[in-house]
Structure 1
Amino acid sequence: MEIVVVADTHLPKGNREIPGKLKKEMKKADLVIHAGDWQTIDVYEQFREFGELAGVYGNIDHDEIKEVVPRRELLHIKGFTIGVVHGHGEKKTTEKRVYEEFAEDEPDVIIFGHSHLPLLRFMKKTMLFNPGSATDKRRVPYYSYGKLTIQNQIHAEHVFYSSLR
């Protein structure tokens, strides 16, 4: 199973749109997961055009998005458990907040956003995966999104690119 993971798209903003590279990848994916900060319901609808979609809302999302996606989600896919949350909040690091959010659920992976910074690390036995931002990079030289491949195990990787075209 191939999953595309995005977060912090912050669209529309200026002339930005979903990059062509990301669109091609989403067309091939079995599932797209968005970890919040879509910004408008129109962006949510654009992502739905690519197939099966799961996601959560973030701290800058409009009320219309909060009506169609939850604050957090727990997905069960091919025998694995994946937690999805945006990661905003006060105190502690984003990684500690998202880990504590799902501590009782003990997921295999926690997907989150908020920082716009790509991250792949383990906290105890849980993989923490932030895809970065496909359209609004901050403090890093490249835009990015993530890919999860699920077979007998979960393989996670980042896809980096320098142009939004």
Structure 2
Amino acid sequence: MKIVVISDTHMPKKAKQLPEKLLIDLQDCDYIIHAGDWQTVELYNELNQFGPVIGVTGNVDGQELKSLLKTKEILQAGNFRIGIVHGHGTGKTTEKRAIETFTADEVDCIIYGHSHIPVLKEIDGVTVFNPGSPTDKRRQQQFSYGILTVGERINAEHIFF
């Protein structure tokens, strides 16, 4: 199973369209995860043309997106549970807030955004993954998104461009 993971697209403010590299990966994915800060509902509608979208709202998302999406989701992908949250809030780091969101849930992987900083690590047996941003790299050297390959285990990788 191939899951494309994106976050912090901030469209159309930071980009008018998704990058070509990302569009190619969307062609053959089983799921699309968006970890918030879409900006407008048009991107949600566009992504739905490629496959099932599981997304959450971020701190810049308006009422229209909030009526469609929650602030926290758990996706069952094969034998694995993937927690999805944006990670914004006050106190602690974005990563710590994201991890704390799922302390009462059994998850194998936590996807979060907000910082625009690509992260891939394992903490207490849980894969912690921030895809970065394909459209708003801020102080990062490259734009990025992620791909999860789910089979007998979860393999997470960043796609940098």
Q: For the superposition of Structure 1 and Structure 2, which TM-score range results when normalised by the shorter chain?
A: over 0.9
Aligned length: 161
TM-align CA RMSD: 1.0
Q: What per-residue deviation string (whole Å, max 9, x for no partner) do you get for residues 14-43 of structure 1?
A: 553101110110111011100000000111
2:69 match: 69
The SS at the match of 1:64 is: helix
Amino acid at match of 2:110: I
Question: Which deviates the most, 126-135 or 8-17?
Answer: 8-17
The answer on whether the counterparts of 2:14 and 2:136 sit within 8 Å (CA) in structure 1 is: no
**Partners of 1:139 and 1:63 in 2: CA distance:** 29
Normalising by structure 2, we get a TM-score of: 0.97
| Superposed counterparts of 1:1-40, under 5 Å | 1-13=1-13, 16-40=16-40
Q: Which residue of 1 aligns with 2:102?
A: 102
- What is the TM-score normalised by the length of structure 1? 0.95
For 2:15 and 2:141, the matched residues in 1 are separated by: 20
Q: Which moved more, 1:118-127 or 1:79-88?
A: 118-127
Is the alpha carbon distance of 1:157 and 1:14 closer, same or farther for their aligned partners in structure 2, counting shifts above 3 Å? closer
Partner of 1:157: 157
Superposition deviation, residue 51 in structure 1 = 1.3
1:32 is matched by which residue type in structure 2? Answer: I
Structure 1, unmatched stretches of 5+, are none
Give structure 2 stretches of 5+ with no counterpart: none
Conserved in 1, the CA contact under 8 Å of 2:14 and 2:135?
no
**Alpha-carbon distance between aligned partners in 2 of 1:14 and 1:116, rounded to the nearest angstrom:** 13
Counterpart Cα distance in 2 of 1:35 and 1:103: 18
**Mapped pair 1:83 → 2:83:** yes
**52-61 or 41-50, which deviates more:** 41-50
Task: Give secondary structure in 2 for the equivalent of 1:42.
Answer: helix
In the alignment, what sits opposite 2:53? 53
CA distance in 2, matches of 1:106, 1:30: 23
Instruction: Please list every run of at least 4 consecutive aligned residues from structure 1 whose deviation after the TM superposition is greater than 2 angstroms.
Output: none
SS at 1:28's partner residue?
coil
Taking every aligned residue pair, what percent have the same amino acid on both sides? 50
Counterpart Cα distance in 1 of 2:113 and 2:145: 11
